[in-house]
């Protein structure tokens, strides 16, 4: 019998999840699969190494959404552990007998995943890694580009044009009818460091950073909310296509209007980037079929997703990506030294420059900024 784990890190969704499909299927389709959906708080996964209140809240809401969806399917829910992944999986192998681990490729934590692959070889556990957090496999982009990451946006566009269009999303409806959802006996739960329920940010000693500013927009995590939000975003894009333009969030910046950003949902994988990409492009083609004067199609229609791809590609196999020192792709810029409390005033929105201060207070209160404001504050 296959005892299979889907290890969620990002990719916090059921739709377009190749690792999930791999975890619940067998090669011959006849053997029974016992399935365990797992998330591990290890201090790094899903960006928790350096995380504020709003991001942690969004993550926990996303985990709660998954937990509720699995319970609706007849499962005990999402199994949430706290500890080092190698120790958790060693214990799951020894106590439960898991023999297969599936997960989505994570560009940011290769060392952690390599440790799991090494452990699995030692224990005889099958490991399957699938690409779905990015449009293309960053390793393929690097290979086509001559063995190194493209260091300009134009180099990335040239490389992906050689690769061709990204894969379309896999089936959105997953068949769980033949899945046997696994359980964990009570006497193993403490040893495995299984959390009793979805925690709160305060359980990790993470508290709101808001300095008193009003919160106008609450960003809610979870796959179901992301799919609903995408409907509004696609309608927004469709209206722009019909008027003969695209990139409405950049062409017609509305800093006071209701935000249409999908960035948080994409970052945690509550929404598949491939589904978002093809939904927008298919809508563009649909609108163009009705237009007399045609707009040129191409990757520029979803330009922000291409920039996302660009930065993920540069981050893979680069443990120093988030810093200047030892980073092979980063210029050593001689930054001005902070005088007195300049940086603190900037962080708290007390510089005396109204639009900068308003932006930073919004960031503290809501955890998100329009990309125009991000550029201004930077």
Residues 33-78 have pLDDT tens digits of: 899 999 999 988 888 888 889 999 999 999 999 999 999 999 999 9
User: Does 309 carry a binding-site annotation?
Assistant: yes
Q: What distance, in Å, lies between the first and last C-alpha atoms of the chain? A: 54
User: Does 9 carry a binding-site annotation?
Assistant: no
Nearest alpha-carbon partner for 111 in 137, 84, 88: 84
pTM assigned to the model:
0.93
pLDDT digits (tens, 9 = 90+) for 136-178: 999 999 999 999 899 999 999 999 999 999 999 987 678 888 8
The total of other beta-carbon atoms located within 10 Å of residue 176's CB is 16
Q: Which fold has domain 2-131?
A: Rossmann fold (3.40.50)
- Please give the pLDDT value at position 294: 81
What is the maximum span of the chain, computed from C-alpha positions, in angstroms? 69
Residue 78 contacts residue 67 (beta carbons within 8 Å): yes
User: Does 321 carry a binding-site annotation?
Assistant: no
Task: Delimit the domains of the chain by residue range.
Answer: 2-131, 336-377
Residue 24 contacts residue 185 (beta carbons within 8 Å): no
Burial class of residue 60, CB neighbours in 10 A (0-12, 13-18, 19+): buried
The two structure tokens encoding residue 193: 């460091």
Could you give the CA distance from residue 77 to residue 63 in angstroms, rounded to a whole number? 10
The two structure tokens encoding residue 226: 């992301």
Could you give the CA distance from residue 311 to residue 308 in angstroms, rounded to a whole number? 5
In this prediction, residues 219-239 reach a mean pLDDT of 95
Could you give the CA distance from residue 255 to residue 369 in angstroms, rounded to a whole number? 9
Q: At residue 257, does pLDDT exceed 90?
A: no
User: Does 306 carry a binding-site annotation?
Assistant: yes
User: Does 87 carry a binding-site annotation?
Assistant: no
Strands 79-82 and 100-104, sheet pairing:
unpaired
Residue 197 backbone class (left: φ over 0; alpha: ψ -120 to 50; beta: rest):
beta
In this prediction, residues 304-308 reach a mean pLDDT of 95
User: Does 310 carry a binding-site annotation?
Assistant: yes
- Please give the pLDDT value at position 275: 97
User: Does 277 carry a binding-site annotation?
Assistant: no
Q: Which residues are registered as beta bridge partners of 5? A: 36, 101
Confidence category of residue 26, pLDDT binned at 50, 70, 90: low
Cα–Cα separations (whole angstroms), residue 212 to 33, 215, 349, 359, 364: 51, 9, 11, 14, 9
Q: Which of helix, strand or coil describes residue 171?
A: coil
User: Does 311 carry a binding-site annotation?
Assistant: yes
Helices 223-242 and 273-288 pack at an angle, to 10 degrees, of 30
């Amino acid at each position: 019998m296959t005892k299979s784990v889907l290890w969620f890190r990002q990719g916090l969704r059921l739709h377009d999840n190749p690792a999930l499909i791999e975890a619940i299927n067998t090669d011959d389709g006849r053997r029974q699969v016992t399935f365990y959906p797992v998330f591990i708080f290890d201090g790094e996964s899903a960006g928790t190494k350096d995380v504020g209140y709003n991001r942690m809240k969004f993550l926990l809401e996303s985990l709660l959404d998954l937990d509720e969806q699995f319970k609706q399917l007849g499962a005990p829910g999402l199994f949430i552990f706290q500890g080092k992944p190698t120790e958790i999986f060693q214990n799951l192998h020894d106590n439960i007998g898991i023999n297969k681990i599936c997960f989505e490729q994570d560009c940011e934590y290769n060392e952690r995943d390599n440790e799991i692959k090494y452990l699995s070889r030692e224990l005889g556990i099958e490991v399957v890694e699938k690409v779905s957090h990015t449009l293309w496999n960053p390793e393929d982009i690097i290979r086509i580009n001559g063995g190194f990451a493209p260091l300009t946006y134009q180099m990335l566009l040239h490389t992906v044009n050689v690769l061709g269009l990204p894969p379309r999303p896999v089936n959105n409806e997953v068949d769980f009818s033949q899945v046997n959802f696994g359980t964990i006996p009570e006497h193993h739960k403490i040893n495995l460091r299984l959390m009793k329920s979805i925690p709160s940010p305060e359980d990790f000693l993470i508290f709101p950073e808001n300095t008193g500013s009003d919160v106008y927009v609450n960003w809610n995590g979870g796959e179901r909310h992301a799919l609903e939000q995408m409907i509004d975003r696609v309608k927004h894009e469709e209206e722009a296509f019909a008027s003969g333009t695209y990139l409405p969030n950049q062409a017609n910046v509305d800093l006071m209007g209701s935000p249409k950003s999908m960035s948080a949902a994409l970052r945690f994988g509550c929404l598949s980037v491939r589904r978002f990409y093809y939904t927008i492009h298919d809508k563009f083609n649909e609108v163009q079929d009705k237009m007399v004067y045609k707009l040129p199609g191409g990757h520029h229609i979803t330009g922000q997703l291409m920039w996302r791809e660009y930065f993920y590609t540069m981050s893979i196999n680069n443990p120093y990506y988030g810093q200047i020192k030892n980073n092979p792709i980063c210029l050593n810029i001689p930054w001005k030294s902070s005088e007195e409390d300049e940086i603190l005033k900037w962080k708290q929105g007390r510089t005396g420059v109204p639009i900068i201060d308003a932006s930073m207070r919004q960031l503290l209160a809501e955890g998100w900024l329009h990309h125009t404001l991000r550029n201004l504050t930077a």
